[in-house]
A and B are shown apart, each in its own frame.
Chain A
Amino acid sequence: MKITKEASSPTEITLSVEMDAADEDPYIDRSYRRTVGRLQIPGFRKGKAPRSIVENYVGRIALVQEALDFMIPETLNQALQDEELQAFVEPRVEVLELEPVSFKATVPLEPAVDFGDFYSVRLEKEPVEITDEQVDQVLERFRAESAPWEPVSRPVQFGDLLNLNVQGSMGGEEVVNDEGVDYIPQAENVLPFPGFAPYLEQMAEGERKDFTLTVPEDYPRPEYAGQDVVFQVEVLSVKAKQLPELDDEFAKGVGEGYESLEALRAHVLERITDEAQSQSDYEFQERSLAALLENATISASDLLLEREIQNLQQERERMLRNQRLDLDTYLSYVGKTEEEFREELRPAAAERLNRMLVVRKLAQEEEIAVSPEEVQEEIDSMLASSSEENAEAMRRVFSAEDTRDSIRASLLNRKVMQRLVEIVQGLEAGAGADADADAADSADEETEAESEAENDNVEPAEDAAPSETEGSEGSDEGAEPDAK
């Protein structure tokens, strides 16, 4: 085996490996053993033909081809060990020749992440303030939701519930014909056509009205745009919402019931404060991360970005499959080629990759790690909150190694985020614990997809400058190096 090492960039190394017959032999033997069971060679029972016969029957090259699948990864691992290299993710391999086997592997190294002046960055948490108006708004909504529709005898106003007979025709052709439909006229209601609702205003119960409506030119369906539609409308009934009085009586009917209006107000206040608090925590965390990204200089191999694009693409494909679409069909809908699609994913992928790298680096820098006990604790708390019959199934899920890995990853992420928030506030480690637990949770979902898509080879990119944009999604963990 001959290995030539070449440093193509600070974050990448290209290994050229040439194998000789002696290196190949054990692998070819394995591929022979795999192949022989499938081959029906005259004169031999299945699986009984000796290697020399098989080699002649299918040809040596075919056996080598078959062997490549495991020959290259294993040889590469060996080569990496010999050269004492650590691959950050799976290297990209290019097979140059089969006889004898030689290949070229581009090995991405640990990216260099420099936090720059980040440790001197200080951010302020914005205090959360809830005004009485916000509480009132929520209460108003409760009122509107619980209000019953009561018949009224007055002309129609916006927001009333009408029962209508409607006939509409366009150039003699019927476009609408409904009897006894419920309709709520509202200024922004565009059904059946924009501008229909205002005609109903001021009509009385039992009244008929004929009018001609011109559909606006920008109506999305061209066969109707700019046409005149003649309507005949009869109002059968008019109902309006009877808003209940905002008093203790009302409070008792909301949700599980509250003692008094005061109790309800207190509860609502508490709830929206909580929401706003976790929202603001999350935003603060995002701002901290953005600050970290802004200060950090990341030089990573192009391969990492390509992998990330690949991961992202696979995620999108999964999402599409959930909607019963495959990628090709989707691409033909939006009229894009796969290339363009990938190009579009590039900024998002770069963003995610950078987040992943800085979080990883921060974890190293701050020596944050998750112990198996902590994982177990997390699992126990998840089990405790699930119901009896689920617990058994959950326990089975949690005993799987990769579930534990993904829990570990998300715990680590949470811890790193906590530390990050502490740093930007100039706090010592452990001071601001717990405050950010909720927000960190939402960032965990991407973890699984991360680790899954690690093993694929990707085409090289010409340009992959790390971009530093702010994003809304959480950062990822889980893309630990695969190579030993």
Chain B
Amino acid sequence: MNIYQVLLKPTITEKSTLLQESGRYTFQVALTANKGLVKEAVEKNFNVTVVDVNITKLHGKLKRYGPKYKKMPDVKKAVVTLKPGDRINLVEGL
């Protein structure tokens, strides 16, 4: 898998901006990505050192359109902890 296809977009929410203060940045990543790939991708893209990666998979909700149920897409989210002092300017990606 291409390293540039791993990170999809940053997650910018109240919670994630709070986390940024302690050097943890949150991304939405490809479903097929794993911690190793995310680490590699963040280090390459932003030129920082990654200390830890936590990944969580959010299951898409079932939504009803009239009589039919549709499943919303699953999302994989990664919380990346950087070496203290490293920063990423996420807002530019908004």
Q: Is A220 an interface residue (CB 8 A)?
A: no
> Contact: A43 with B13, CB < 8 Å?
yes
Question: B6-26: which have CB < 8 Å to A?
Answer: 11-14, 16-17
> Contact: B91 with A44, CB < 8 Å?
no
> Contact: B94 with A48, CB < 8 Å?
no
Residue numbers in B under 8 Å from A50 (CB-CB): 17
Write the A388-399 contact mask toward B (1 if CB under 8 angstroms, else 0).
000000000000
With A50-B17, A53-B17 already in contact, the answer to whether A43 and B12 are too (CB < 8 A) is yes
Residue numbers in B under 8 Å from A52 (CB-CB): 91
Expressed in whole angstroms, the Cα–Cα distance for A56 and B89 within the complex equals 12
Interface size on B, residues (CB 8 A): 8
- B93 shortest CB reach to chain A, Å: 10
How many CB-defined contacts (below 8 Å) exist between A and B?
18
- B32 shortest CB reach to chain A, Å: 25
- Find B94's partner among A44, A45, A56 (CB 8 Å cutoff): A56
> Contact: A43 with B14, CB < 8 Å?
yes
> Contact: B91 with A56, CB < 8 Å?
yes
A56 closest partner in B (C-beta): B91
Expressed in whole angstroms, the Cα–Cα distance for A52 and B17 within the complex equals 10
B17 closest partner in A (C-beta): A50
Residue numbers in B under 8 Å from A44 (CB-CB): 13-14
Residue numbers in A under 8 Å from B94 (CB-CB): 56-57
Residue numbers in A under 8 Å from B16 (CB-CB): 43
B89 closest partner in A (C-beta): A52
Expressed in whole angstroms, the Cα–Cα distance for A50 and B12 within the complex equals 11
- A60 shortest CB reach to chain B, Å: 12
- A323 shortest CB reach to chain B, Å: 55
Expressed in whole angstroms, the Cα–Cα distance for A45 and B14 within the complex equals 8
A44 closest partner in B (C-beta): B14
Interface residues of B (CB under 8 A from A): 11-14, 16-17, 91, 94
18 A-B residue pairings within 8 Å (CB atoms): A43-B11, A43-B12, A43-B13, A43-B14, A43-B16, A44-B13, A44-B14, A45-B14, A48-B14, A49-B14, A50-B17, A52-B91, A53-B12, A53-B17, A53-B91, A56-B91, A56-B94, A57-B94
Beyond A43-B14, A52-B91, 14 additional contacts (C-beta under 8 Å) are A43-B12, A43-B13, A43-B16, A44-B13, A44-B14, A45-B14, A48-B14, A49-B14, A50-B17, A53-B17, A53-B91, A56-B91, A56-B94, A57-B94
